[in-house]
């Protein structure tokens, strides 16, 4: 059998690691159609399926897992070996961020940064996947949510995350106003992590007897609140634009801090990237301003 084309093997590894053809195609600067064609051609060449395609993305078949184990480390080694010889990227800065964080917090602020630094080009990768700075050497930094514990990286705290009960205006009106009834008597959207329990302990009120729904996804909570399903204990950073636009209403001035905060994470090599240092200083300034606004709103 002739050798499979290297770009097809790279596409296969990217598809499995991203778990999504769209994100994998973006990482390789291909269209989804082109990447899908490569995968079908590779499967035909090898004689067995490599990927299982589902509604939520793609996963490797058992044969695909074995192939990934064989070729993945070699492709990583090639990428790492070529990195010192890569052409300087000048003022191009690649940043990875969660889609919700990118759209709700970073993107609305980027115009100011780019206006002040017109020679810097931001390549923003909006993805749920955690950036791997070894496997993705072109990524210079990432915005992550967690406790700051990512081995092999430099992690700098930006700001904390806070939870606030929020609902759409129609539900508030139907209930007779924000202060019409104790929060435990409102229809609440529950979570499996026990955040509502912590909230009621914070405010010294009894928890509800039941929840109208139980959801385990942060964005699903926000959508449920927007749709009038019930009151969500929403994340302030991600829901701030919805609150400022009046699409959601905060039902309390008190906030519950989460264990996971927002961090700037980057590899050691980014220290020598001039554009990254400019971006880093700007990002910390934006984070301090954001934290001040949150504190002022609570006062």
CA distances from residue 111 to 15, 48, 61 in whole angstroms, order as listed = 32, 48, 43
Q: Is the pLDDT of residue 85 over 80?
A: no
| Mean pLDDT of all residues belonging to the chain | 87
What's the pLDDT band for 2 if we cut at 50, 70, 90?
Answer: low
Kindly state the tokens that stand for 140: 């210079």
Distance CA 101, CA 97 (A): 6
Q: Would 92-160+260-298 and 162-257 be classified into the same CATH topology?
A: yes
Predicted pLDDT of residue 216: 76
Q: Hey, what CATH topology would domain 162-257 get?
A: D-Maltodextrin-Binding Protein; domain 2 (3.40.190)
- Residue 130 has which token pair? 């955690």
CATH 1.10.1070.20 fits 6-85, yes or no: no
Residue 46, judged by CB atoms within 10 A of its CB (0-12, 13-18, 19+), counts as middle
Kindly report, residue by residue over 186-241, the tens digit of the pLDDT.
Answer: 999 998 778 899 999 998 988 888 899 888 777 888 889 999 999 999 999 888 88
pLDDT, one tens digit per residue, over 111-170 is 999 999 988 999 998 887 788 888 788 899 999 999 998 988 999 999 999 999 999 999
290 sits in which H/E element: helix 274-298
Q: Is the pTM of this model over 0.85?
A: no
Backbone angles phi, psi at 229, to 5 degrees: -65, -40
CATH of 92-160+260-298, one of 3.40.190.10, 3.40.50.12500, 1.10.1840.10, 3.20.20.70: 3.40.190.10
pLDDT digits (tens, 9 = 90+) for 18-43: 898 888 887 776 778 888 888 998 99
The pLDDT > 70 percentage for the chain reads 95
Q: Write out the two tokens for 269.
A: 């090599």
């Amino acid at each position: 059998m002739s050798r499979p084309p290297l770009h097809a093997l790279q596409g296969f590894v990217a598809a499995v690691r991203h778990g999504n053809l769209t994100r994998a195609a973006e990482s390789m600067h291909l269209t989804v159609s082109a990447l899908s064609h490569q995968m079908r051609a590779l499967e035909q060449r090898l004689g067995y399926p490599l990927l299982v395609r589902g509604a939520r993305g793609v996963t490797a078949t058992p044969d695909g897992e074995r192939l990934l184990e064989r070729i993945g480390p070699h492709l990583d080694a090639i990428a790492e070996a070529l990195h010192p010889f890569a052409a300087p990227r000048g003022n191009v800065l690649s940043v990875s961020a969660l889609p919700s964080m990118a759209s709700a917090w970073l993107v609305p602020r980027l115009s100011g940064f780019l206006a002040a630094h017109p020679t810097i080009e931001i390549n923003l990768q909006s993805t749920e996947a955690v950036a791997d700075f070894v496997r993705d050497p072109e990524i210079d930094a990432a915005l992550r949510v967690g406790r700051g514990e990512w081995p092999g990286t430099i992690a700098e705290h930006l700001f904390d995350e806070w939870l606030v009960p929020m609902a759409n205006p129609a539900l508030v009106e139907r209930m007779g106003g924000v202060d019409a009834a104790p929060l435990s008597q409102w229809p609440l959207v529950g979570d499996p992590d026990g955040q509502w329990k912590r909230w009621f302990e914070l405010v010294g009120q009894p928890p509800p007897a039941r929840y109208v729904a139980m959801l385990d996804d942060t964005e699903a909570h926000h959508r449920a609140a927007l749709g009038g399903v019930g009151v969500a204990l929403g994340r302030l950073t991600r829901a701030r634009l919805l609150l400022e636009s009046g699409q959601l209403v905060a039902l309390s001035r008190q906030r519950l801090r989460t264990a996971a905060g927002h961090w700037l994470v980057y590899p050691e090599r980014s220290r020598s990237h001039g554009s990254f240092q400019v971006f880093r200083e700007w990002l910390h300034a934006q984070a301090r301003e954001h934290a001040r606004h949150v504190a002022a709103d609570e006062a």
